Amino acid sequence: MLACYLLAMLGMWSPSATSASWASATVAGLGEISMLSEFEIQNPYVFEMKATAARISRRGHGILATDESVPTAGKRLSTIGMDNTEESRRAFRELLYAAPGLAKYISGVIMFDETLHQSTSGGIRFTQLLHEQGILVGIKVDTGLQPLGGTDGETTTQGLDGLAERCKQYYREGARFAKWRAVLKIGNGMPSERAIQHNSQTLARYASICQEHGLVPIVEPELALGPGDYSVERAAYESERVLSHVFRALNAHDVILEAMLLKPSMVLPGLDAVLAENDEDEVARYTVQTMKRTVPPAVPGIHFLSGGMGAEEATRNLQALQRACPNSPWALSFSYGRALQDPVLNAWAGKPENVAVAQQLLVELARVNADAQLGVWNEEHPSPGSERVLLPKFSYAEERRAPSNVLCADPFSNRFFALKVHKNPCE
């Protein structure tokens, strides 16, 4: 391979696209090589998907995640005393999507299957409403979590059956990107090697199927924020383990990196851990270091999930990421659900007379996060002091913390360990 590369650099050799599972091209007589898989060569959507991924990841914009399942939407509606009816869910989504000025800060919206087929009270399909604003439509394509056999309560994600046909239909209905969520947790011996391997392979298979049918896959390996006093160092190590396996699987499935997006968790300590005074800077340092160690620069954007963080905490951490790595090879942006929706839901309270105020709050929340993505947010938050939301049904065994800045000799043991972090991981 090296010999072929050198010959190509000299303009003495050029393989055909069909001679192997990759192709090369010579640019301006300099022999610059572009290595392509057969999957990328033969994919009719490749240029469109790359443009879509780049458009979603453009500066000063982020993703609004509204892909809650019917039961999850019901739990949120119950907090304002509303019944979980299709009309209640539709009305709240209309409030979100029709907010004046939303497109200035939001480049994409992730929908649930039900929402993709709903319309405004005036009969305009939600997909059309968003397209007219220049906001791209995405769709959640997994069908939920199930227990993973042979593990201590870890999960796998279902939905591969029939995914190809669903992707075709979603593309016809106007969707241009998709999302699949895998959930792993930190605990006594967790995430296990079995859970990491299984979920990585499933994410890669999903991404490949999506790209085959024209949808940009958002790959979401969430390390769930939960109870426990595990340190930010421990969270960083486990994040690195997970993401390394995920990208190994993506490469094995020939997923086109320029036509995908990553939606990871920020590197956060357990909810019972003692937080430092400048916690967002510590979170940012470890998060950026983890991304630089695992995520290829070909990926256009890393859109972090809010993952139980409060609205203000999510914004502060996002801005800290820009300070930690101002010359990032990827867009470091947001794909927030609760952090954008919960304050708006409370402001609305199900009352028609509150719609305009709630929409204004949504746009303000989107704006401050867009400013944070640019690293220029410097004002009071529209939803100050909002609390974290703990994900239910996760059980973590107590573990013993090791001193900070100590490298673990046995990275697969059940003992606590930490990673040594550089002062500036972007240097």
Whether residue 27 is found in the same domain as residue 68: no
What is the arithmetic mean of pLDDT over 131-153?
97
Which stretch of DSSP H or E encloses residue 37? none
Total domains in the chain come to 2
The token pair at 119 is: 């319309």
What is the arithmetic mean of pLDDT over 93-119?
98
The pLDDT, as a whole number, for residue 389 is 56
Confidence of residue 385 (pLDDT cuts 50, 70, 90): low
Query: Is pLDDT above 80 for 15?
Result: no
Query: Is pLDDT above 50 for 391?
Result: no
In a domain, 416, yes or no: no
In a domain, 405, yes or no: no
In a domain, 67, yes or no: yes
In a domain, 219, yes or no: yes
Whether residue 1 is found in the same domain as residue 103: no
Q: Calculate helix-pair angle for 311-324, 338-348, nearest 10 degrees.
A: 150
Whether residue 272 is found in the same domain as residue 206: yes
One-letter amino acid at 172 equals: R
Does 352 sit behind a cis peptide bond, omega within 30 degrees of 0 on the bond before it?
Answer: no
Burial 278-291 (b: 16+ CB within 10 A, else e): ebbbbbbbbbbbbb
In a domain, 68, yes or no: yes
Confidence of residue 319 (pLDDT cuts 50, 70, 90): very high
Query: Is pLDDT above 90 for 227?
Result: no
Residue 61 vs residues 96, 218, 263, 419: alpha-carbon distances, Å: 16, 16, 15, 32
In a domain, 98, yes or no: yes
Contact 59, 44 (CB under 8 A): no
Answer with the one of 374, 392, 410 that is the final residue of a domain. Answer: 374
Active-site residue set? 220, 263
What is the arithmetic mean of pLDDT over 201-226?
96
Query: Is pLDDT above 60 for 16?
Result: no
d(CA 175, CA 52): 11
- Cβ atoms within 10 Å of 249's Cβ, excluding its own: 22
d(CA 369, CA 114): 27
Whether residue 223 is found in the same domain as residue 358: yes
What is the arithmetic mean of pLDDT over 263-270?
94
In a domain, 411, yes or no: no
- Cβ atoms within 10 Å of 51's Cβ, excluding its own: 14
The pLDDT, as a whole number, for residue 418 is 37
Q: Which residues have C-beta within 8 Å of that of residue 232, sequence separation ≥ 6? A: 267, 268, 269, 273, 282, 283, 286
Whether residue 11 is found in the same domain as residue 89: no
pTM of this structure:
0.85
Whether residue 70 is found in the same domain as residue 129: yes
> Which 3 state secondary structure label does DSSP give 110?
strand
What CA dihedral angle connects 387, 388, 392 and 394, to 10 degrees? -150
Whether residue 19 is found in the same domain as residue 125: no
Q: Are strands 261-262 and 62-66 parallel, antiparallel or unpaired?
A: unpaired
d(CA 319, CA 276): 17
Confidence of residue 35 (pLDDT cuts 50, 70, 90): low
Q: What is the DSSP string of 274-325?
A: PPPTTHHHHHHHHHHHHHHHHS-TTS-EEEE--TT--HHHHHHHHHHHHHH-
Q: Where residue 230 sits, what CATH number does that domain have?
A: 3.20.20.70
Whether residue 135 is found in the same domain as residue 184: yes
> Which 3 state secondary structure label does DSSP give 44?
coil
The pLDDT, as a whole number, for residue 31 is 46
The pLDDT, as a whole number, for residue 271 is 82
Whether residue 331 is found in the same domain as residue 210: yes
Beta bridge partners of 304: 334
Domain residues for the domain of 18 are 1-36
> Which 3 state secondary structure label does DSSP give 374?
helix
Length of the chain: 427
Whether residue 251 is found in the same domain as residue 134: yes
In a domain, 213, yes or no: yes
Query: Is pLDDT above 50 for 11?
Result: no
For the stretch 292-303, pLDDT in tens is 999 999 999 999
Give the least confident one: 241-255, 272-286, 325-339.
272-286
Residue in this structure with the two tokens 């309560």, named with its chain if needed: 153
Answer with the one of 351, 374, 397 that is the final residue of a domain. Answer: 374
Query: Is pLDDT above 80 for 366?
Result: yes
Which stretch of DSSP H or E encloses residue 64? strand 62-66
d(CA 100, CA 248): 42
Residue 191 vs residues 148, 202, 240, 366, 399: alpha-carbon distances, Å: 12, 16, 12, 33, 14
The pLDDT, as a whole number, for residue 194 is 98
d(CA 178, CA 163): 11
Whether residue 139 is found in the same domain as residue 208: yes
Contact 425, 289 (CB under 8 A): yes
Contact 248, 201 (CB under 8 A): no
Task: Compute φ and ψ for 106, nearest 5 degrees.
Answer: -115, 125
Residue in this structure with the two tokens 């609305």, named with its chain if needed: 348
Whether residue 95 is found in the same domain as residue 227: yes
Q: Which residue has the higher pLDDT, 391 or 43?
A: 43
